[in-house]
Amino acid sequence: MSIAHNQATRIPPRTLGIRLRDAREYAGLDQNALADALDVGRATISNYERGVTKPNRLQINAWAVTCDVDVEWLKTGRASRGDGPDGDGSAKQEYRISGVLTHIYAHSTHRAA
């Protein structure tokens, strides 16, 4: 007895870890270079990509900006739906910049303490 299934409808899951790795490779960065850019250890990058630990929202935003990929795609696997009221990508860019600035501020206050 065989079970028929439609191969065209089967899509393997693209986990967050796989998208993180894809984004890093797309940017042409190795784990060490990305770790330096994000101010974390290489093992942290490896753990995120393997799904051992999950990055927080700020880390995902910084990863997206560093790798120049859409933050919504990185988080969910789906592209952003809107480009802002002017259709020029301003909303997405503003969101990405805001996330990076928040990340930088968090690191600067942490180091100052």
Rounded Cα–Cα distance for residues 53 and 43 (Å) = 11
Alpha-carbon dihedral angle through residues 70, 53, 34, 18, given to the nearest 10 degrees: -50
* Domains along the sequence of the chain with CATH: 14-112 (1.10.260.40)
Residues with Cβ within 8 Å of residue 87, at least 6 apart in sequence: none
| CA-based torsion, 50, 58, 60, 112: positive or negative | negative
pLDDT per residue, tens digit, the chain (113 aa), is 555 555 566 767 789 999 999 999 999 999 999 999 999 999 999 999 999 999 999 999 999 999 999 999 999 988 876 544 344 444 445 445 555 555 555 555 555 54
CA distance readout (Å), 16 to 34, 57, 107: 16, 12, 24
